[in-house]
Each structure stands twice: as C-alpha cells, then as structure tokens.
Structure 1
Amino acid sequence: MKQLLIVAHAPSPNTRTLLQAVERGARHPEIEDVAVRVRAPLDAGPDDVLACDAIILGTTENLGYMSGALKDFFDRSYYPCLEKTQGLPFAFYIRAGHDGTGTRRAIESITAGLRWRLVQDPVLCRGDYDPAFESQCEELGLYVAAGLDAGMF
C-alpha cells in the first residue's frame, strides 16, 4: 500500500472545505492501493514525510507568503529529509486572497532545495472564494492519488 500524505493549513471554514475536497479526491473509491493520511502542518514532521510515497501541501497566502504553520513544518523537516526524500512526488494548492505568487515562489524554492518532483500544476485559488475551487482541489487529490496508484511516480 502506497502512502499519500496531505499536509495542509486550514484555519477557516473555506480552507477546511478545500482540504476536505483534496482528501475526497485522494480517497476516490477506484483508487485501491493508496492510503491517505491528513496532518496539520504543526502536527506533521520529518517522520511523516519519510514514511510517505507522495505529498500534497496546502496553505493560505499570508502577507504574500505561505502560512507560518507550513513554514514551521518545512523548518522542522528540511534537513532530516534533505538527503532521504529526493525525487519525492508532490503537489500543492494555495488559497490566495491576492495573487499567490510569493507563496508559490516560496514553496517552489524550498521544494527545489529538497529536490522534490512536482507532479501536478499547482492549484491557485485566487481572489474571493469561489465554489469552483473545491472541484479544482478535489481533482488535485484525485490526480496525485491516481498517479501514485498507477505507479506513474
């Protein structure tokens, strides 16, 4: 059984809805050989990353950057995972009140240093909340889990 880890900061009802959509997609009934584990960034750490076969990250845009909780997760996980998780398939989504570019750049910079492999285009949920964000997030979870299930990564 392959392990998919979802680490997402979801401090509001809307961001919890997006996280639930990612999880719903990842747990699609036709995906048979993927176990999904969801952790808040402050509860997740290097052991979780080392035990997974792929990871989906989720964050809010806070002052043009990722949430402090996700940054803390990276701070605690970076060096313990640096040499052991190169090539780890990952994807991410951002709930951005503005444009999300600073948040995206920060995540891409850190994951490039870790040498993780982006397997899906990032989902940027920009501007006022739109229920269409939910289907985008659900597809993200589905595509990553299905790719892992099919042995694509």
Structure 2
Amino acid sequence: MPRLLIVHHTPSPALQAMFEAVVSGASDPELAGVEVVREPALGATAVDVLAADAIVLGTPANIGYMSGALKHFFDTVYYPCLDAGRGTPFGFYVHGNEGTEGAVASIRTVTKGMGWVVAAEPVVVLGQPTKADLERCWELGATIAAGLL
C-alpha cells in the first residue's frame, strides 16, 4: 500500500485547522488504498521519509522563514535521504500572519536540493483560514494521495 507522510508543525488553531483539512483530503474514502502517516516535524525521521511514497509538509511562517521545527526535520533527514529520496513527490502548506514568502522560498530551496518533485501547488494562507483556504488544504491532501494510486 502506498504511504503518504504528513510532516507538520502545528502550534496554532489556524494551522490545526489546515492540518486537519489536509488529513481529511488525504484520508477520503475514495483514496482508501493510501496509508496516511502523520508525524510532527520534531519527531519525523529519515526512516519515515524513506518509507514514504509522497510527502506533505506543513509549517507556520516564523519571522519570514519556515518554523524551526521543520528546519530541524530537514537538518535531520537531508543527508540520509539525499540519494534514496530523489524524485519523491511532495506538497506543502504555510500559514502566516504577515509575510510568507521566505518560508515558501526556503521550503522550495531545500526540497529542490533533495531532489523532491512538486506534485501540487502549495497552499499559502495569511491570517485566519477561510472556508476556501481549508478546501484548498483538503484538495492538497487529496491530490497528493490520489497521485499514489
């Protein structure tokens, strides 16, 4: 069974809502052939990444950058997964109350260096997520999961 790994840092109600929407989309009954694994960024390991067939990342934008937790995740898995993880499809979502450009750029830079392949456009939300934002998160999860079937 293909495995979708969701690596997230969820320190706020806004990010919790986005995370839950991604999980809901990825876990849609029509996608029952995909195993959805959720790991907090501070707990996810290279073993998790190497066992995954696709990945969704979730982070707040903190001072114009991805969260320290997601950065720690990348620091932990970068070299162990550099060769074996090339070609891994991924997507991501970012929440911020101000600028998110730096967080988006930093995720794109690291994942490009790892050889991961963008499988869906990122969901970037400023302020309180709207119903439309949460629907885009649902679609992100569903799109990445459907790509594994």
TM-score (norm: length of structure 2): 0.96
- Give 1:130-141 correspondences, 5 Å limit: 130-141=130-141
Residue of structure 2 equivalent to 1:103: 103
CA deviations 1:100-135 (Å, max 9, x no partner) are 110011000000100100010111112344332211
Taking the aligned partners of 1:20 and 1:131, their CA distance within structure 2 comes to: 13
Contact 2:60 2:95 in 1 (8 A): yes
Q: Which amino acid aligns with 2:45?
A: G
- How many residue pairs get aligned? The number is 149
Unmatched segments (≥5 aa) in structure 2: none
Residue of structure 2 equivalent to 1:28: 28
Residue of structure 1 equivalent to 2:93: 93
Residue of structure 2 equivalent to 1:7: 7
SS in structure 1 at match of 2:148? helix
CA deviations 1:81-116 (Å, max 9, x no partner) are 001100000000101212311001100000010010
Unmatched segments (≥5 aa) in structure 1: none
Contact 2:14 2:128 in 1 (8 A): no
Taking the aligned partners of 1:13 and 1:96, their CA distance within structure 2 comes to: 12
Taking the aligned partners of 1:59 and 1:36, their CA distance within structure 2 comes to: 18
CA deviations 1:52-75 (Å, max 9, x no partner) are 000000000000000000000000
RMSD: 1.0
SS in structure 2 at match of 1:11? coil
Structure 1 residue runs of 4 or more that deviate by more than 6 Å after TM superposition = none
Is 1:70 the counterpart of 2:70? The answer is yes
TM-score (norm: length of structure 1): 0.94
Contact 1:95 1:126 in 2 (8 A): yes
SS in structure 2 at match of 1:70? helix
